[in-house]
Chain A
Amino acid sequence: MKEVLDVTNASKASGPASSWPKSLYATPRVPVPAWSPSQNETFVAEDIMEGCRGAAQHIDLEGLTSLGITSSLAGEGRTTLALAMALVLAEYGLDTILLELDLGHPELAQRLGIAKFPGVGDLAEGRASLADTMRPVTTGLTVIPAGQTHGSVSRALRQLAEIDLLDNLGNQGHVVVADLPSLLGNSVGRHAASLMADLILVVRANVVPTTSIKEAIDGLHTTPRVLLNGTKSRVPGWARRLSGI
C-alpha cells in the first residue's frame, strides 16, 4: 500500500488526473500483511462481515478487478455492505480500494471518520491527484471518498471513464470495490454501474418489491449477483417456538 501511495504521490506532480502517465499505475499487485478481522469491528458488525465472507467465497478473486455494489432503491444497505465487502477482500490479502461513486449522497467519509475532500469528484474535475484522494483506513484497504462535485454527477462519471481510473487502479494491482448509487430513480446509478466489471445487487429482504428489482436490472451490461440483506428473521424466538418454525 505504501508503495502505491508513493507512486500516486509521484503522479500528483505531473498535472491533472487526465494527463497522468498510465505507466505509473502499472505496478504489480502489492502483497499485504495478514491481519485480524477483529480490527473491523468498529466499522461493520461482525455478523454482517460473516455474511460477506461467505459471499466472497463465491467470487473469483483471481480475476476480480472491480466490483460495484448497487441496489434497486436507496436504503437497502448498499454502503454498509460495500464497506464490509471491501474489508473482507482486504482480509483475503487483496489490495483493496473502496471507491465512493454515490456522489449525490456520500456517506463513507463521515462513517469512517476520514476527510471528505478531496475525493472522486475532485479527481474527476481535475482539482486533485489520485494520491490526494486516497485514505488508507486499515491494512489492505484504502478509501477514496466522494469528495466534491461542482458539475453534474453524470459529467463527473464520464470524466472518470475518460481518465480510465478503474483500469489504471487495476493495472496497479488494486481491486476496486465501488459504492454505487441506487439503480432506480435516475440514470446516474446505471451510468456508475456501467463502469464496473462485476456487480453485486444488494436486495433488502422483505422490503423491496420484485417489480423494482426486475426494473433495476433490466438493461444492465452484466448480470448482477444478489447479496440479500436483512434476512435475519423478525419473528421473535418465543413466536418461532410457539409456531414450531
Chain B
Amino acid sequence: MEIGFAHKLLLLAPMVAALVGTAAFVLLQPAGYQSSATVWVNGGGVGSQSAAAAQADIVNQFLKTNTFALAVAQNSPLGEYLNTHSDAAQGSSITTQIKELFGRGGNAQKPSDDAIRTYLAAHVTVAQLGPSELTVTMNGPTPDVARGTALALITQLSTAEVTVRTTPAQTQLALYQAQLQDQAKVITADLAAIRDYLAAHPNLVKDANAASTDPQLAILQDAATVAKQTYVALLAKIDQTQSDLDLARKPNNAPFRVVDAPQTPAAPSLGKQQLIAGGAGILAGLVLMAVMGALLVRLDTTIHSADEVHSMVGLNVLGSTPLSARA
C-alpha cells in the first residue's frame, strides 16, 4: 500500500489511459437511437422455460437467418440506410470512423445479405420483462430507422412465426390438393372405362337385369364408386386443413400481441457496443493497474522502515525523520 501511494501517478496512468482510449472509442461511434416494443407472449412456455424465454429464443433464432433480416430491412428504413451507408453494415473500423468524421466515409455499395443479418443481430436486443412479457429493442443510427426497423421487426416476426406454424398444414394441404387432382383423373378414367364398356355391350344399356348381373360392369362401377368416395374424402380433408389454416392465421391465435408499440426516440442513447466498450475499458484499466502495481512491488528495492536498514544494507540506524521539505 505504501508503494501504491508513493507511485500514485504510475498506478493511475494505465487506468487513465484505458479510460481515455475508451472515451475516444465511444465518441467515435455514431450516435445510437433506441426504439423498443413490448410484447405479451400468448400461450405457455416450453418445458421449464417461460413463454417469454421461449419467444426470446425464437426471435434470436430468426435474427440469425438472412431471409428474416432481409425481409425486415426491405420493409423498413434500415434497407435504404444500409444501401447508402455500406460501411455501417460492413462493420465500422476506427479508420472508417475517422474518415466519416472528415466526411470521406460511406459509399453506395450494396451490402451483402450476410452483412445485413450481422448488422441487425448486432443492433437488436431482446430482454425478458416477466414470464410472458419481453421487449425487443432496436438500436438504430437515426430515430426513424430505429422506430421503423423495430416496427418491421415485430411485424416480420409475427408473419414468420405464423408461417412456421402453418407450414406443415400448408404442406399437407398442397399434398391433398395434388391427390385430389390425381383422384379426379382416376374418376374420369373410371367413368370413361364404364362408358366404353357399355358402348361395346349395348344390350346392357337396354336390359337392366343383364347389366346388374354383368360381373365386368360391376367391377368397373365399383372402381368408379371407390374413386368418388376417395375424392370426397380428400375434399373433406382439404376443407378441414383450410379451416385449420384460417384459424391459425386469426389475430387471436397470434404468437404474441404488442403491448407497447415502438416509439420514435427523442434523444440518442448509449448502445450495447458503447456499454461493452466502457466496461472493457474499465476492466482493462484495472488489469493494467494491477500489473503495474505488481511490477512496482516486484522491482522495489528501496528501504521503507528503520527495521529494514540493518537487514538490507547491514548498517545501524541512528534515527528516522519525516520527509524534509527540501528533499
Given contact pairs A45-B325, A80-B324, A229-B324, A213 touches B303 in the complex (Cβ within 8 A): yes
How many angstroms from the CA of A217 to the CA of B323 in the assembled complex?
Answer: 22
A48 within 8 A of B: yes
Alpha-carbon gap, A47 to B302, bound state (A):
23
B interface footprint on A52-69 (CB within 8 Å = 1, 0 otherwise) = 101110110000000000
Q: Does A186 interact with chain B (Cβ within 8 Å)? A: no
A210-B313 contact in complex given A227-B320, A234-B5, C-beta closer than 8 Å: yes
Q: Which of A48, A217, A225, A243 contacts B324 (CB 8 A)?
A: A48
In the assembled complex, the CB of B112 is this many whole angstroms from the nearest CB of chain A, namely 56
Question: Are B323 and A230 in contact (CB-based, < 8 A)?
Answer: yes
Does A211 make an interface contact (CB < 8 A)? yes
**Closest A residue by C-beta to B310:** A226
Task: Check A228 against B324 for contact (C-beta < 8 Å).
Answer: no
- Whether, in the assembled complex, A115 has its beta carbon less than 8 Å from a beta carbon of chain B, the answer is no
Identify the closest chain B residue to A54 (Cβ).
B319
Cα distance A77–B327 when bound, in Å? Answer: 4
Cβ of B302 and Cβ of A229 under 8 Å apart? no
Contact of B325 among A76, A80, A223 (CB under 8 A): A80
A42 partner residues in chain B, CB cutoff 8 A: none
Task: List which B293-327 residues lie within 8 A (CB) of chain A.
Answer: 301-306, 309, 312-313, 315-327
Chain B hits for A75, CB < 8 A: 327
Q: Are A77 and B318 in contact (CB-based, < 8 A)?
A: no
Q: Is B3 an interface residue (CB 8 A)?
A: yes
Q: Which residues of B contact A204 (CB under 8 A)?
A: 323, 327
In the complex, what residues of B have CB within 8 A of residue A79's CB? 326
Q: What per-residue 1/0 map shows which CB atoms of B81-119 lie under 8 Å from chain A? A: 000000000000000000000000000000000000000
> Which residue from chain B places its CB closest to the CB of A228 in the assembled complex?
B320
Contact pick for A213, options B2, B6, B313, B325, CB 8 Å: B313
Task: Find out whether the CB atom of B317 lies under 8 angstroms from the CB atom of A229.
Answer: no
Report the minimum CB–CB distance from A71 to chain B (whole Å): 9
Interface string of A73-98 (1 = CB under 8 A from B): 00111011100100000000000000
B298 CB, nearest partner CB in chain A, Å: 13
B1 within 8 A of A: yes
Per the 8 Å Cβ criterion, residues 250-306 of B in contact with A are: 301-306
Residue ID in chain A nearest B306 by CB atoms = A228
A166–B113 Cα distance when bound, in Å, is 93
User: In the complex where A231-B322, A234-B5 touch, is A225 in contact with B316 (Cβ < 8 A)?
Assistant: yes
Interface residue count for B (Cβ, 8 Å)? Answer: 27
Task: Chain B residues near A77: list those with CB within 8 A.
Answer: 321, 323-324, 326-327
Evaluate contact between A205 and B319: CB separation under 8 angstroms. Answer: no
Contact A223 B315 (CB under 8 A): yes
CA distance A228 to B316 in the complex (A): 11
The docked-state distance in angstroms from the alpha carbon of A231 to that of B303 is: 9
Given contacts A80-B326, A209-B301, A243-B1, contact A48 B315 (CB under 8 A): no
> B59 to nearest A CB, angstroms?
47
Assess whether B5 is in contact with A236, with CB atoms less than 8 Å apart: yes
Assess whether A208 is in contact with B320, with CB atoms less than 8 Å apart.
no
**Minimal beta-carbon separation of A63 from chain B (angstroms):** 15
* Chain B residues positioned under 8 Å from A225 (CB to CB): 315-318
CA distance A236 to B325 in the complex (A): 18
CA distance A80 to B321 in the complex (A): 11
Q: Check if A206 is an interface residue, CB within 8 A of chain B.
A: yes
B320 pairs with A231, CB closer than 8 A: yes
Contact status B302-A207, CB under 8 Å = yes
Q: For A232, give its contact among B301, B312, B319, B323 (CB under 8 Å).
A: B323
Alpha-carbon distance A51/B305, docked complex (angstroms): 14
Decide yes or no whether A13 CB sits under 8 A from chain B: no
A201 at interface (Cβ–Cβ under 8 A)? Answer: yes
Closest approach, in angstroms, between the C-beta of B306 and any C-beta of chain A? 5
Structural contact, A206 and B315, CB atoms closer than 8 A? no
Query: Which chain A residues numbered 198 to 224 have a C-beta less than 8 Å away from chain B?
Result: 200-201, 203-211, 213-214, 217, 223-224
CA A211 to CA B315, docked complex, whole Å: 13
Closest to A77 in B: B327
CB < 8 Å neighbour of B318 from A55, A84, A236: A55
**What distance in Å separates the Cβ of B319 from its nearest Cβ neighbour in chain A?**
3
Chain B's nearest CB lies how many Å from the CB of A11? 34
On chain A, the residues within 8 Å of B303 by CB distance are 203, 205-206, 208, 210, 213, 228
20 contacts between A and B (CB under 8 A): A47-B322, A48-B321, A50-B321, A51-B320, A52-B321, A54-B319, A77-B323, A204-B323, A206-B302, A206-B304, A207-B302, A210-B303, A213-B313, A225-B315, A225-B318, A227-B318, A227-B320, A228-B321, A229-B327, A230-B324
Q: Which residues of B contact A (CB under 8 A)?
A: 1-3, 5-6, 301-306, 309, 312-313, 315-327
Cβ-closest 6 pairs across A and B = A55-B319, A51-B321, A77-B327, A230-B323, A232-B322, A80-B324
